[in-house]
Structure 1
Amino acid sequence: MRTPVPDAPDLLTSDEAENTSVLPAAKRYKLSNAAVHGLNTEAKMMVDAFEAEDGHLEDRIEMEVDGCAQALSATEMIVELLKEVKD
Structure 2
Amino acid sequence: MKNKKRTVKLVARYALRVTVFLLFTIHCSLFSDAYALDVKREVLESGLTLLIVERHNLPIVRVTVGVKAGSVIEPEEKAGLANLTAEL
- TM-score of Structure 1 vs Structure 2, range by shorter chain: 0.3 to 0.5
Structure 1 or 2, whichever has the larger Rg, is: 2
Structure holding more helix per residue: 1
Structure holding more strand per residue: 2
Q: TM-score if structure 1 supplies the norm length? A: 0.34
